[in-house]
Structure 1
Amino acid sequence: MIVDTILQLKGTAVYTLRDSDTLGDAVAMLNSHNIGAIVIVGMGESVIGILSERDIVRQLGNNPSAALAKSIGSVMTRAVVTCDRTTAISDVMERMTHRRIRHMPVVDGDRLTGIISIGDVVKLKIEEVEHEAEVLREYIAS
């Protein structure tokens, strides 16, 4: 299985903001779209960072009264772990576990083409196991 399998099922929509936007803007977007991370893009829509709920909570814990006015660029994760459509799901699982991340932008060169979450990966793995179990049941029954 590869990343493209997930993108074909869930689509390629990605919510993005600029590093000059505020954490308040990010919170509004996270809430309105019921998502857990926003990809931060620069010129030409290249990925320059990612901002997750975790990043925002850390800022709220440090200075709650000023947190939402901060620029995304001052708190986002800049070392973004990405994959492409042909990356194996097992590789994505390893990277997410090792780096303790829950969201991974999908890129084609420098261009953002989608995003996958640990929830997407788990859902795919469960569907794969259920399909294998059904095939085995059919084999045993025949």
Structure 2
Amino acid sequence: MKTTAKDILNKKGTELISIKEGSSLLDAVKLMRAHKIGAVLVLGKKDSIEGIITERDVLSAVDKYNGNINNVSVDDVMTKNIIVAVPDDDIQYLMGIMTKNRIRHIPIVGKERVTGLVSIRDLIATKMEDCELENRLLSDYMKSG
């Protein structure tokens, strides 16, 4: 059985850390620091995904605005054309799409609403658990034979 985005979200939880369109970039940074996360979804009216703010976006903004991001809006620096996945997408597909597009976070969208955000760290942790289980099963098999 292949591990899916839904499986990962069920394990890690579906709490979605987001910020509203028009908010300040500094508020987004504070939110990321408070929750120890690397990305925040930017939501519009009716909680539609308008973009994503990542650590990379923050660094680009610091460079672009010569360190003065006090009056910068998330709208000015967010990535707008974001790639999304669905709950049934498996871990291999997610890893492939994230690697190909050089992204570290991907929103999971089901039934026209965001159900969570999966990070590359989530995928690596899941793969490691799968490998540990497989190793344990093989070891037990070898001992019984």
Give the TM-score category using the shorter length.
over 0.9
| Alpha-carbon offset, residue 65 of structure 1 | 4.2
What is the distance in 2 between the residues matched to 1:92 and 1:68? Answer: 35
1:134 CA displacement: 0.4
Q: Partner amino acid for 1:80?
A: I
For residues 60-99 of structure 1, what are the structure 2 equivalents within 5 Å?
60-99=62-101
Which AA in structure 2 matches 1:92? Answer: L
Specify the SS of the correspondent of 2:68: helix
TM-score by length of 1: 0.96
Q: Find 2:103's aligned residue among 98, 101, 104.
A: 101
* Structure 2 partner of 1:54: 56
Equivalent position to 1:140, from 137, 142, 145: 142
More deviation in 94-103 or 55-64? 55-64
Map of 1:6 onto structure 2:
8
Where does the alignment leave 5 or more consecutive residues of structure 2 unmatched? none
- Aligned residue identity for 1:130: E
Please tell me whether the aligned partners of residues 47 and 110 of structure 1 are also in contact (alpha carbons under 8 angstroms): no
Deviation >6 Å, runs of 4+: none
Unaligned regions of 5+ residues in structure 1, if any? none
Aligned to 2:126: 124
Equivalent residue for 2:114? 112
- Contact residue 46 and residue 111 of structure 1 kept, 8 A: yes
Question: Match of 1:30, SS?
Answer: helix
Counterpart AA for 2:27: D
Query: Identity over aligned residues, as a percent?
Result: 33
Separation in 2, partners of 1:3, 1:110? 16
CA distance in 2 between partners of 1:65 and 1:8 (Å):
39
Taking the aligned partners of 2:25 and 2:102, their CA distance within structure 1 comes to: 22
1:26, 1:2 → 2: CA distance?
29
Q: CA deviation at 1:62?
A: 2.0
RMSD: 1.0
TM-score, normalisation: structure 2: 0.94
